[in-house]
C-alpha cells in the first residue's frame, strides 16, 4: 500500500492557510505554491541515494556525499508548473518532464494532451508535482505514463488532497508514496476539494 505523508511542519501549515484564503492574489498565490513545493520536496527526498566522494576544501581533504543519480520533476500541466522552479533551484541537476493532462469538466476523466518523453527514464526518482489530488485521475494517468516509459521509482507531491484521490491513487499505484500539506474532507458534487482552495490553475495564472 502507498505510504501517505501529511506534513505537520509549521511553515507548511502557515503557508497553506495563506494559500487557501480567497483574498490571496495570484502573485502571492504563486509565491506560496513555490515555497510549499520546496518544503514538500525536502520531505519527499529524504531517502535519495548518495555516492561517497573525496574532495578538497581550502583546508585539506574531506569526505562528502553527492546525489548518485538524477531526479526528474514531473509537473502535471498547468497547475503543477508552479511547483517546479523552487525545487529545481534546490536540485539543479534535475530533469523536468512535462505532462499535459486536464480533467474533462463533465466526466472528470483525465485527458492527456501533451507529453515529452525523456531520452533516459532511468533516474533515481520521478517526483510528480500537482497542487491538487481530487479524484486522483490525473495523478494515476501520470504514473501510468511514467511506468510505460520505464520509470523505476515514483512519488507524488501535492498540496491538498481529497480522501477519494488518495484512495484511488494508492489503489492504482501502491508503490507511489504520496506527500501532502493537507488531506481535506471530501470532494463536492462537481469534483472540487472541500474546503480546498478552489481552482489551483486559475488562481495561479489569474484565469478564474
User: Where on the chain is the footprint of ligand PRP (CB under 6 A)?
Assistant: 76-79, 102-103, 108, 110, 130-139, 165, 191, 199-201
Which one of ligand PRP, ligand URA, none is in contact with 96 (Cβ closer than 5 to 8 A by kind)? none
Instruction: Report the distance separating Cα 186 and Cα 52, nearest Å.
Output: 45
Which one of ligand URA, ligand PRP, none is in contact with 40 (Cβ closer than 5 to 8 A by kind)? none
> 85 catalytic, yes or no?
no
Which one of ligand PRP, ligand URA, none is in contact with 192 (Cβ closer than 5 to 8 A by kind)? ligand URA
> 202 catalytic, yes or no?
yes
Instruction: Report the distance separating Cα 22 and Cα 28, nearest Å.
Output: 12
Q: What is the DSSP string of 58-108?
A: TTEEEEEEEESS-EEEEEEETGGGGGHHHHHHHSTT-EE--EEEEE-TTT-
Q: What is the DSSP string of 139-206?
A: HHHHHHHHHHHT---EEEEEEEE-HHHHHHHHHH-TT-EEEEEEE-SEE-TTS-EESS-S-HHHHHHT
Which one of ligand PRP, ligand URA, none is in contact with 157 (Cβ closer than 5 to 8 A by kind)? none
Catalytic residue among 28, 107, 148, 207: 107
Among 134, 151, 154, 168, binds ligand URA (CB under 6 A): 134
> 106 catalytic, yes or no?
no
Q: What is the dihedral of CA 203, 181, 175, 50, to 10 degrees?
A: 100
Q: Rule CB under 6 A: is residue 193 a binding residue for ligand URA?
A: yes
Among 44, 132, 140, 169, binds ligand URA (CB under 6 A): 132
Q: Specify the DSSP class assigned to residue 114.
A: E
> 107 catalytic, yes or no?
yes
> Binding pattern to ligand URA, positions 139-178, x when CB under 6 A?
----------------------------------------
The catalytic site residues sit at 103, 107, 199, 202
Amino acid at each position: 500500500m502507498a505510504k501517505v505523508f501529511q506534513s505537520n511542519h509549521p511553515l507548511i501549515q502557515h503557508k497553506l492557510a495563506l494559500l487557501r484564503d480567497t483574498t490571496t492574489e495570484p502573485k502571492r498565490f504563486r509565491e506560496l505554491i513555490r515555497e510549499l513545493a520546496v518544503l514538500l520536496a525536502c520531505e519527499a527526498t529524504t531517502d535519495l541515494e548518495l555516492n561517497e566522494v573525496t574532495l578538497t576544501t581550502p583546508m585539506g581533504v574531506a569526505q562528502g556525499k553527492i546525489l548518485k543519480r538524477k531526479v526528474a520533476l514531473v509537473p502535471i500541466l498547468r497547475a503543477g508548473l508552479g511547483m517546479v522552479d523552487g525545487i529545481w533551484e534546490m536540485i539543479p541537476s534535475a530533469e523536468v518532464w512535462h505532462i499535459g493532462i486536464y480533467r474533462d469538466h463533465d466526466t472528470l476523466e483525465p485527458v492527456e494532451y501533451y507529453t515529452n518523453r525523456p531520452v533516459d527514464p532511468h533516474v533515481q526518482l520521478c517526483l510528480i508535482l500537482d497542487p491538487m489530488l481530487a479524484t486522483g485521475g490525473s495523478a494515476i494517468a501520470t504514473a501510468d505514463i511514467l511506468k510505460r516509459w520505464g520509470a523505476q521509482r515514483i512519488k507524488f507531491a501535492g498540496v491538498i488532497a481529497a480522501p477519494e484521490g488518495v484512495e484511488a491513487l494508492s489503489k492504482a499505484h501502491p508503490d507511489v508514496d504520496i506527500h501532502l500539506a493537507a488531506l481535506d474532507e471530501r470532494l463536492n458534487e462537481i469534483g472540487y476539494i472541500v474546503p480546498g482552495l478552489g481552482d489551483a490553475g486559475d488562481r495561479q495564472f489569474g484565469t478564474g
